[in-house]
Every structure is written in C-alpha cells, then in structure tokens.
Chains A and B, each alone.
Chain A
Amino acid sequence: MKTEALHAAYQTEEQPLHHQFEEVSQQNESYVVGMWVFLVTEIMFFGGMFLAYVLYRWRYPEAWYEAHTRLDIPLGTTNTVVLLTSSLTMALAVHFAQLRNKRMQLAMLGATIGLACVFLVIKAFEWSAKFHHGLVPGPGFLWDGSVPMPQAQLFYSLYFGMTGLHALHVIIGILVIGVLALLTFLDHPLVKNDFIPTELVGLYWHFVDIVWIFLFPLFYLIPK
C-alpha cells in the first residue's frame, strides 16, 4: 500500500504514539481503516434515500420529469465543477502534506474551503429560488406548472432531503478542514509532521464529492 511506503519514508519517532498501539505505522493504518469503515456507514446512510429515489422515480416518471425541469441546470453544473475542483485541491493538500510543504498544504486547504463555500453560496441561491416559487414541500407547497402534478412534491421532498443532507456534509467538511488548517498553521502536535490527518480529511472530502456526482445527474439531468 502506498501509505505504508510513505510511513516508512516519512514517519519516524517524531509522531506521538498512543498507548494502545505498538508502533506508529499500526496507529496510522488503524486511522485509515477506521476512516474507510466510517465512509461505508456514510454510504449506507445516503443509500436509504437513494433507494427511495429509485422507487419513486420508477413509479412516477412523468412527475419526475416535470418536476426536474424547475431545477437550474447551469447552476447545478457550475456547482459540480466547483466541487470537483475542490476535490482536486484537497488531493493536492494531501500531496503537499506528504511532502511536508506546509505553505502549499495550507494554501490548498484554504482553496478547498473557498470552493466549498462557493458551492454552498450557489446552493443557497438555488434553494431560495425554490422557496420563492413555493417549491418547498409541506402544506404551502405550490406547483404552478402547466400541468398539475402532485408527485412533484415527492420529488422536492427528496431533492431537499438529499441535497440538504449533502450540504450538511459540506458544512461539516468546511469545519473539519478549517480546524485542520488551523492546527497545521499552529504546528499543533496533533498534526505536526503527520500527514495522516490530512489524508483522512481528504478521504472524507472525496466522499462528499462523490455523493454529489450521483446527486447531480439524478436530480438535474433526468431524460424525458
């Protein structure tokens, strides 16, 4: 495994070892394995909603098509690009962390946060437009389409539910990356000379990105 080779190369006694571990490499691998298992739980977490989506789309293709026409494809596309770019900057942050290039690592983390914020801002625009048009599910739901379409509400329930959950993950990501950047900046012992935290956060961030890669076509690009 690539990580292991890197441990050998970079990690030495400098890294603090927790009492339950025998050696640093064991500790680091534990963290990475733990992160992967956590991501599996995340996949299952979103999985329940994806299942609901599949079922209803299959059952109400018309409504799905009609309802999706109200989504803003250019904005969605922009957001996809923004998020993909942030994944790239995150990957670079990990890369520079491994090279112990603190300055570049911080820059890349900052860029990731910036892009994530851009994503959220665009998202906020989209959402407020939906609010304006009464497309928020609930008693006040208002479908002014050319044709009445009660299941449009179902579509928007899932739209808000899934993109909302995703946005929550983005926000958590911003916080975590922020803390990581701060600690790195301060040379805190938790992260000093240790690229594993950055790698873990990176894994998480790629996951957030991948979820969006699924959400975007499923909601914005429904073929007739």
Chain B
Amino acid sequence: MSTAAPVLHGESPKAPPSYLQAGHTIKSWLLTGDHKRIAVLYLIAVSVFFFFGSLAASMIRVELVSPRGVMLESDTYNKVFTAHGIIMIFFFLIPAIPAVLGNFLLPIMIGARDLAFPRLNLLSWYLYMAGGLCGVLAIAFGGVDTGWTFYTPYSSMYSNTNVTLTIIGAFIAGFSSIATGINFIVTVHKMRAPGMTWFRLPLMVWSSYATSLIIVLGTPVVAITLLLVVMERVFHIGVFSPELGGDPVLFQHLFWFYSHPAVYIMILPAMGVINEVITCFTRKRIFGYHFIAFSSLAIAGLGFLVWGHHMFVSSQSMYQGMVFSLLSYLVAVPSAIKVFNWTATIYKGSVRFQTPFLYVLGFMGLFVVGGLTGLFLAAMSTDVHLTDTYFVVAHFHYVMVGGTIMGFLAGLHFWWPKFFGRMYPDSWGKLSALLIFAGFNLTFLPQFVLGYLGMPRRYHYYYFAPEFQFWHIASTAGASILAVGFLIPAVYLLWSLKYGEPAGPNPWGAKGLEWTIPSPPPTTNFLETPVVREEPYAYDAEAEEREDQSKEPIRA
C-alpha cells in the first residue's frame, strides 16, 4: 500500500521513541492508553493462561493413558477438564487474536493513531484480568466441575463446587470482549485514514470487524444467561430448574446462541491473519478479495442461526433440528469460499517457506479437516452417535488448535518483528512448526476413531471398554510431541527479545501500512496521517522474481 509521503522514520536520529521506550515504569504500562502496549499486556496475559490451560491438558492426557486413570480422583479429573475448557476458551482463545494482534494492528492497518477509545481499551484489559482472577481463584479454592458449558440443572442446583465464582469470572471477561468489540466497530467506522475505503481495508480488518459484530450481538446474551444461573444457584430465583417448572433446555438454547457464534469469534480473526500472511509469503494479491470480505460477514450472520446443532439429542423437536442442520450446511459454504480463494492465491505466486508460511500451510490442512468433520456433526443422524464423544473433542481441537492457534502462531511470527523490532531464528521456527503439525495430528486423529467407537467425552474411566486404550495412548504420545512443539517457540521468542537480530521496518518485504512505520512503532504510529491511494496487497510476484533473479537474494 503506498502512502503520499512514506513515513519511514526508523533510521533518522530524530525519530520519536518507540512505544516500548515511551516510559519504562510499571505505571507507564499499567495506565497506558496505547493500543500497542495494551496488546503486549494482553499477549503476556493470554500466554500465562495458555500455559495453565495446557498444564490441565497434560493432566487430562496423562490420566487417560490407563482405563482406570493414573493419579486423579474422578472429581479432580472433572475439575481439570473444566478448568482446561474454561481457561482455553474464555481466557485464552477468545481474546488471543483480537486482543493481541487485532489490538496492535487494527489501528495501524487503517492508518489511525489509536483505537477510538483508548481508555475503554485499557478498561477491557483490566476487566479481562479481573475475570481471569475470578477464574483462577475459583480453581484455587477447589475448582469447578460443570464442564465449560455449565449445563443446567447440574450447574444451578447440583454441583457443589465454585460455579458462582467461575461464572462471575466468565461474565466479567465477557464485558471485556464487549468493550473490545465496541471499540473495533467504532474504530473501523470512524478512524480510517483518508483514502482508506471499505474495499481497501486489509482483510484482517474485515474479519476483525465481523468478529466484533458477533461479540456485540452475542456476548450480552451469554452474560445474562450465566447471570440467571447464578441467581438460580444463589437465590433460588430460577428459570431453568424443572423443580420450578422451568426448562433446563432453555439454558442450552441461550448458551449456544452465544457459544456457537463464539466459535466464529475464535476462527474469524485467525482467518484474517491468514490473508495477510499468505499474500506476503506468496507475493500475490489476494484472490477474490470481495468474496473473502463478504464471506466473513456471511459467517457472522449465518453463525447466529445454527446454535441448535449442538442440541440434536437434547429433545428439541425434529423440525427445529432440521432447520438448524440445514443452516449449518449453509454456514460451511463461506468457509469453503475462503479456503479455495487462499488456494488460488498461492497459484503463480513467489512462495517463501518461512516460519509464518509454514503455519499457514498447517492452518489450511488442519482447518479443512476440522471444518469437514464439523459436517458430520451438523448432519442430524450422524451427530446422534457422535455427539458428546471424542469425535466432537477431535473436531473442535482441529478447528481451534489446528485452525485458530495455527493462525495465531502464524500472525505472531509474522508480526513479532513489528511488535518488538527483532527477528527470531527462522530455522527453530520451522522446526517447531513441523513438530506442532506432526504432534497435533498424532494427538487428535486417534480421537476421531475413539469417538466413532463410542468413547464419551468427559470420561475419567473407560475400564468397561478397554479396547479404547490403544487410541488413548497414541493420543497422549502425540500430546507429548505437541508439548515440545509449543515450548520451543516460547523459548526462542523470549530469547529474541534480547538477542534477536534487529528487524528493521519491513523484514519480510511486506505491503500494508504497518510495514511503512518503524519496528517497533512510535507511540502515535504515524507521524503524519497516511493517505491511501491503492488497494491492499499490492504485491507483484512476477516482478519480484525478475528482480531477485538479477541479484543476490537479501535474506535466505
């Protein structure tokens, strides 16, 4: 993307300090309004939560090696998978891409100095931390055992664990999401630089915008629903308990009304990242810009109409089920459109196999498997057998880990030099990408088989079906590889903060406003407001190849 006056201040001695240097006190971080600093705060927080969530995952996998468990009581096991689900969903995956990469990049990508409401942005981080604290305290004080779905009446009348505190945590974290969503929507509407028309927006912005719409429309519903569960639990002011004439299935409707769209809150930002990375590493304009942009909106819209596909055996009526099933097939189409457009983007590109691109390849493979297995579950009769089995577990790890986390890692590796101004060792990056891909498949492919065999999820024991053990062992073995794969980036990324090679403003030769400013960027991002005169992704693979072949490549 070209700007009227390229604002490259990185090298000039009079350059303003980068956002990292603008104040070194803890206070300057904790009271910052700078979207980039808030993104870093989020990055630290979500990493910590990911660590704890993964710890829980490790315990699950160890426990399931033997049909009678290894070290935990059933109660503890139940608390562990609940903690795993709640931490990973509410405190890691939902904020991960929007609040870290989105926060950092959205204003820069549209040529703004900050989000529309910086203080709201900071508030959202504090809300998130407060929610996280409640969640952590709930776990520390004995845990919760409802599963992340909090189904009534178990959660509201029967469980005697810290349900209330956990729900309050999720509730508060929900408002943090809402604050981010409002901020993004207003920013995209009102803060675009001159010339940045809607169809010149990078696709990451489109998908962040669609995500924000879902957040704004969906999160309040789950908030009120969870509040009702707390009311029922604490004050017996109930609407879900059958003892009061209430309907426990109503909770499921309200819960999934948010939580299905929430899965698109998780995947859309990752899809946004893919657009940016894939164009850069193939040096191609994106194929079918408009189709990708509108498919994000289609996913956001249709995503609100399919929640009942989580409830095919819940006793909802057959006709309800049919509508939800049909719509679930429709919502798969926009995802298909995106996948095929990305494939076409690679065609005739100039492909560089660097770390971020490896993660894109991983995303493409794993998301397709995850999405297609979603279709088994969207089909009413196949779901009857597969629901609440490991098939579902495998499906959602494919889309969430194979999709979203791959996207997150792709983005993190792509923009890491922009965040901190330093490069990481690419060979280690590639190695861990391969390990993660291999370990991931070994962990979760066996779970499809397990699910088809009938292994129910949330099961601590399976001694009455010992034939499941082989697949469980395979899965645990995979998780061990996966653990190594995740630990390596943690090490080299931290290492690079100090010892990494300085990256310069644009280490990848990428297009996009964020690459026109220094790395790390100054507090106000741009010294002069950029003027946009072009579509995004102004790459030209052919020209670059010609140039490259006439001289020595700059970077191996």
Contact = CB atoms under 8 A, between A and B. Distances in A.
Chains A and B share a contact (CB less than 8 Å): yes
A72 B418 CA distance: 63
Chain B: number of interface residues, binned into ranges:
35 or more
Interface in B209-223: 216-221, 223
A205 to B, nearest CB: 19
B265 to A, nearest CB: 14
Interface string B387-399: 0000000000000
A44 B218 contact: yes
Interface string B181-194: 11101100111000
A46 B225 CA distance: 10
A82 to B, nearest CB: 26
A56 interface: yes
B245 A154 contact: yes
A48 B220 contact: yes
A19 B191 CA distance: 12
A151 B190 contact: no
B223 A45 contact: yes
Contacts of B238: 137, 154, 157
A40 B186 CA distance: 13
A51 interface: yes
B244 A157 contact: yes
B116 A44 contact: no
A7 B219 CA distance: 33
Interface residues of A, number: 41
A47 B221 contact: yes
Interface string A47-73: 111011001100110010000000000
B220 A37 contact: no
Contacts of B257: 48
A5 to B, nearest CB: 18
Interface string B154-188: 00000000000000000000000010011101100
A157 to B, nearest CB: 5
B254 A51 contact: yes
Interface stretch (B92-100, B228-236, B542-550): B228-236
A41 interface: yes
A26 interface: yes
Contacts of A21: 116, 191
A55 B250 contact: yes
B239 A20 contact: no
B191 A30 contact: yes
B484 interface: no
Give the 3 A-B residue pairs with the shortest CB-CB distance, closest first.
A20-B114, A45-B220, A44-B220
Given A19-B524, A161-B228, 14 more contacts: A19-B114, A26-B190, A30-B189, A33-B189, A34-B182, A37-B185, A41-B217, A47-B221, A48-B220, A63-B245, A138-B235, A151-B245, A161-B231, A161-B239
Interface of A: 18-22, 26, 29-30, 33-34, 37-38, 40-49, 51-52, 55-56, 59-60, 63, 137-139, 150-151, 153-154, 157-158, 160-161, 165
